[in-house]
Structure 1
Amino acid sequence: MIPAMAKIQFCVLFVLYIVIKCDSVNVDTISSDIKIKNVDRSIDISSQLVKITSKVTLENTGKVPVKTFLLAVEGTAKNNLAFIGAKDSSNKDLRLVETTVKGYDQVKFWRVELKDTINAGSTVVITTESVYTKALQPFPTAITQQEDQLVKYNGNLYFYSPYNVASQKTNVIINTKSVESFTKVKPFSQQDGTIVYGTYANIAPFSEKELNVHYKNNSPFLTVTRLERLIEVSHWGNIAVEEIIEIEHTGAKLKGPFSRYDYQQDHHSGPASVRSYKTLLPASASDVYYRDTNGNISTSNMKVKKDSVELDLRPRYPLFGGWRSHYTLGYNVPSYEYLYHSGNEYLLKMRAVDHVFDDMQIDELVTKVILPEGSTSIKVNFPFPVTRLPDSLHYTYLDTKGRPVISFTKKNVVENHIQDFQIRYTFPRLLMFQEPLLVVGFLYTLFLCVIIYVRLDFSIHKPEHPHKD
């Protein structure tokens, strides 16, 4: 009887495992009805990021309407991919679902769901965007204080796709005339700050051809190695935001000594170094502070604009390749701009990460949201995949049970991830009076103890009063 029960349990567990695997992994096939009529591609490598924008004209050569198509990223580039997205001709975002194709284990695929079907014999124009981090390598890897920084880009000359491409053209944007070398595949032309490749015809699916560009790039190569963002929500009208930021210059390392005298006297000294950078805060930000382990950093400026607060952050020392800095940035914003409620139901909408500097790249982001004490039925909605960390409790003054903390983390973050997340929770409004009542009760008890202490007589014997004659 026992072996039979064991077999039944094994079969049930095996079926559940298969169901879970099938639900969690999408499997697609490459449609032979879809062809790419034309691709107009732009590769922007003028900053520390590689931004590729492609205007793709899809054609349905079959006999039935098509609702989806596949995007692909080659195996050599998928580890550097930070963001990928697609928009239709109306500039509306399309939904992307990560999927797999049998026989292409080294390729990363996304299924793009179109808002309108492509009828047989019709075409549609889609714009795709992808951002890659750490795809530009300094070469040489070390330079002196006076030298310019040279970097190498190694990519794919062709638009990588599971479909046949009838015609394509590529513009490589470098924004400099100082080019050491670049791949020369005819037809091509070099203009001011741009290298134009194509038009190339009849490119087979999954085609790859090496594209190399070696050029001058003195853009700030700053990487936030870790950013811990703390959001503390109060129902008394304020949301406190604090960011602990660890930053590193990941460009060509400094070779030889550093001369501060030359750096201050000659503005052309250290062309690849970072003297300062701009951080953007919400327009309603107030009580802004900027400090490191030594205290407040006064070498910074704040400019209030209509739609943001611009901070010109200047570290205590300039950042050269391999140098690091660590600082804390904090501010307050009014809760009515981000917190909505109906009765006891609340909705918090805030950014998972904010603008640190232009063309930023963040290795690790950790966001923690501290909700008011007594919050229950917490539900979280993220605009992109994240790793949810275990919930915890945070204790401050007058807390009894602790405030719930919702935490999540994400690797390889860029500006495209500056999006709102949502947290829904239930909070009985009567609990808002808990802390004031605790204060009143404490003061009442204190005054009562003082009154009792004054009125009681703790002496061993009473003093003798003199008798009157």
Structure 2
Amino acid sequence: MRPLAIASAVLSFASTALCAEKSNLTTPLTSKLILPSTFKPVQNFQNANLVHIISLEKGYPKESINVVIENIASTAQDEYFLPFTSQQMATIGALEVKDRKNPDGALFQVEAVEFDPESDTQFYRISLPTPLAPKAQQTLGITFSYLSALTPLPATIAQADKQYLVYTFSAYCQSAYVTLKQKTEVKFPSVVVPEYTIIPGTKGEAESPQKQGSKFTYGSFGEVPAGAVEPVKVRYEFTKPLIHVSELERDIEVSHWGGNVAFEERYTMTNRAANLSKQFSRVEWASAQYYNPPTTAVRELKFPLKVGSLDPYFTDVIGNVSTSRFRSNKREANLEIKPRYPVFGGWNYPFRVGWNADLKKYLRKLKTGEGYVLNVPFLEGPKQPEGMEYEHITLRVILPEGAENVQYSTTVPLVSASTSLHRTFMDTTGRTALTLTAINIVDDLRDRELIVTYDYPFLAGFRKPIVIFISTLSLFAAAWGIGSLDVKIKSKRS
């Protein structure tokens, strides 16, 4: 558990502020703070009011914590700790913190601190941009998601049956500080919630939850001590697939000479929905398509691409897949693909898609010097109503041969970054490739920008034409030399 938890904890190290100010490749991506197993945050803060929102409307739980923190110490404070269990740390993704009253402001720096394996409680450290004065308050907006956190119950169902998922959480929001007032809101995809935990009311208060359509509310609760939990389990209907991408390899290849940027994405996709209790029936599946009932199978994937995208392709391990449709005009470019077979719970489907685009839409040259700025989406991929989760993403930006001084900036949390050489046809030294790695990402981060700056000297642009010219000239010279050889067989004269 320790290696997996530490790897996942590194996820949020490169927050927006860190990426904006320190975006070069030498920036360390790990925390230097190691906490002992007996560590407990100093009670410098209290939560004056807290609202915990859990959204179960997609195939992964997304949680938001809106909390008014108050400095109860005698000196200004700038470090706020957020606790999680080791299991949560292994699956948490895209934790972000900002000032709730300034939603357009920069994200706060967030670090997952290393931990002693004897402790089940681990922490994220939130660094406030400005130290909070004594008795002053600030409203934090904290968001994060969990991957592989929903469990189908029953685990196997018939092909046409409805699916139910189970999720376990605490009605008391996990906090390292005393909370004076709080409530937890749970949003379900429908009103069908056959099982849920009931918390009896105290001091004349009504029991929880209070129901309002597809939303349940636990609380409001009075003062709760630090570290308090109140386990809650809910089971609700969710007849949609749970799309999990264990590996996504995304390549972006830039060609100055061709004026083109080529995108290719390779997916290893699994449906984590309930498995089939009987063998798949193609006849039953075909007959059901006439009235299009809800299903846990992945029937199609929709890629909303950038306007101007062209030449899309869709292949899998067998070869080209013809069940796709591409619609492109001045306002949109949509690629709709259908897998070779419906992907039911427990089934895998590896595939790849790719397309081209005009480089002018993504690249601009700086007014001075030899610098260029490339602005591309870090993640595109399918946009599904049930959502998608990505366990591991490897993004490779392949720049022209001779590109140097490569820098990057993105608001997507990263775990590693490196540069290398990528050799292709007619290259000499090889093209410069920037490789970025992220883990535990959800599709809420779709279309977040990746900005790459690099220098491309004027003479470097002529490297390939010169290589082609010399190669062609050498070929003709070799052909002329071979053709001028006298290979006739002559008889000896007596």
Q: TM-score, normalised by structure 2?
A: 0.80
Q: Residues 417 and 437 of structure 2 are in contact (CA less than 8 Å); yes or no, is this contact kept in structure 1? A: yes
Deviation at 1:190, TM superposition (A): 2.0
Matched, 1:370 2:382: no
Are residues 400 and 94 of structure 1, via their aligned partners in 2, closer, same or farther at CA, if it must alter by over 3 Å?
closer
Letter in 1 for 2:381: H
Correspondent of 1:24 among 27, 32, 39: 32
1:203 Cα shift?
0.9
Deviates more, 1:153-162 or 1:69-78: 69-78
- Give the residue type in structure 1 aligned to 2:442: V
Structure 1 counterpart of 2:362 = 338
State yes or no: 1:201 paired with 2:247: no
Match of 1:7 in 2: none
The answer to whether the aligner puts 1:420 opposite 2:449 as a matched pair is yes
Classify 1:447/1:102 alpha carbon distance in 2 versus 1 (closer, same or farther; 3 Å).
closer
Could you tell me which of 374, 396, 401 is aligned with 1:348? 374
Q: What is the rounded CA distance, in whole Å, between the counterparts of 2:378 and 2:463 in structure 1? A: 30
Matched, 1:290 2:314: yes
Alignment gaps of 5+ in structure 1: 1-19, 462-469
C-alpha displacement of 1:24: 1.7
State the distance in 1 between where 2:474 and 2:196 align.
80
Further displaced range: 290-299 or 221-230? 290-299
User: Displacement of 1:142 after TM fit?
Assistant: 0.6
The 5 A counterparts of 1:359-398 are 359-381=387-409, 383-388=411-416, 391-398=419-426
Cα distance change, pair 423–268 in 1 and its aligned pair in 2 (3 A): closer
- Unpaired stretches in structure 2, ≥5 consecutive residues: 1-27, 200-206
Q: Of the two structures, which has the highest relative contact order with CA contacts closer than 8 Å and spacing of 6 or more?
A: 2
Partner residue of 2:168? 154
The CA distance in 2 between the partners of 1:270 and 1:261, in whole Å, is 17
Instruction: Tell me: CA distance 1:450–1:98, structure 2 relative to 1, closer, same or farther (3 Å).
Output: closer
1:222-241 → structure 2 map (5 Å cutoff): 222-236=243-257, 237-241=259-263
Aligned partner of 1:246 in structure 2 is 268
Of stretches 101-110 and 120-129 in structure 1, the one that deviates more from structure 2 is 101-110
Q: Does 1:94 align with 2:81?
A: no
Q: Deviations over 1:24-69 (max 9, x none)?
A: 2266973434211111221111221101112211223344333342
Moved more, 206-215 or 372-381: 372-381
Aligned to 1:167: 181
Distance 1:76 1:109 in 2: 12
* Structure 1 CA distance for aligned equivalents of residues 329 and 274 of structure 2: 35
Take 1:374 and 1:386, find their aligned partners in 2: how far apart are those partners?
26
Alignment of 1:273 onto 2:281: no
Matching of residue 187 in structure 1 with residue 208 in structure 2: yes
Which residue, 33, 40, 46 being the options, matches 1:35? 46
Q: Which amino acid aligns with 2:48?
A: K
Correspondence list, 1:216-227, <5 A: 216-227=237-248
Secondary structure class of the residue paired with 2:222: strand
Verify the 8 A CA contact 2:109 2:128 in the aligned structure 1: no
Query: Counterparts of 1:167 and 1:240 in 2: how far apart (Å)?
Result: 53
Tell me how far apart the structure 2 counterparts of residues 101 and 234 of structure 1 sit (CA, whole Å).
42
Distance 1:459 1:259, change over 3 A: closer
Partner of 2:24: none
1:273–1:448: structure 2 CA closer, same or farther, 3 Å change rule? closer
Number of residue pairs matched? 441
2:340 equivalent to 1:311: no
Q: How far, CA to CA, are the matches of 1:53 and 1:322 in structure 2? A: 30
One-letter amino acid of the counterpart of residue 92, structure 2: L
**How large is the RMSD of aligned CA atoms in angstroms?**
3.0
> 2:349 aligned with 1:325, yes or no?
yes
Who is 2:151 aligned against?
A: 137
Q: Which residue of 2 aligns with 1:11?
A: none
CA contact (8 A) 2:58 2:189 kept: no
Q: Counterpart in 2 of 1:107?
A: 121
Aligned-pair distance for 1:221? 0.7
What is the rounded CA distance, in whole Å, between the counterparts of 1:307 and 1:211 in structure 2? Answer: 46
Question: Of residues 48, 63, 66 in structure 1, which corresponds to 2:77?
Answer: 66
Structure 1's 320 and 386: CA in aligned 2 closer, same or farther, altered over 3 A?
same
Q: How does 1:204-215 map to 2 (within 5 A)?
A: 204-215=225-236
Confirm or deny: 8 A CA contact 1:26 1:98 kept in the other structure. no
Q: 1:455 to 1:31 in 2, by over 3 A?
A: closer
Are the equivalent residues in 1 in contact too, given 2:31–2:113 (CA < 8 A)? Answer: no
**Which residue identity is paired with 1:56?**
V
Do the aligned residues in 2 keep the contact of 1:46 with 1:173 (CA within 8 Å)? yes
Partners of 1:455 and 1:100 lie apart in 2 by: 74
Give the distance between the partners of 1:350 and 1:287, measured in 2 at CA. Answer: 18
Q: Which amino acid aligns with 1:108?
A: Q
SS in 1 for 2:180: strand
Greater mean alpha carbon deviation, residues 423-432 or residues 210-219: 423-432
- Rounded Cα–Cα distance in structure 2 between residues aligned with 1:460 and 1:181: 96
Amino acid at match of 2:343: L
Greater mean alpha carbon deviation, residues 147-156 or residues 61-70: 61-70
* Identity fraction in percent: 27
Higher strand content, 1 or 2: 1
Cα separation, 2, equivalents of 1:175 and 1:99: 31
Distance between the aligned counterparts of 1:126 and 1:29, measured in 2? 21
Contact 1:46–1:219 (CA under 8 A) maintained in structure 2: no
Contact 2:150–2:167 (CA<8 Å) still a contact in 1? yes
> Residue 111 of structure 2 aligns to which amino acid in structure 1?
E
Kept in 2, the 8 Å contact 1:47–1:220? The answer is no
Rounded to whole Å, the distance in 2 between the matches of 1:188 and 1:449 is 85
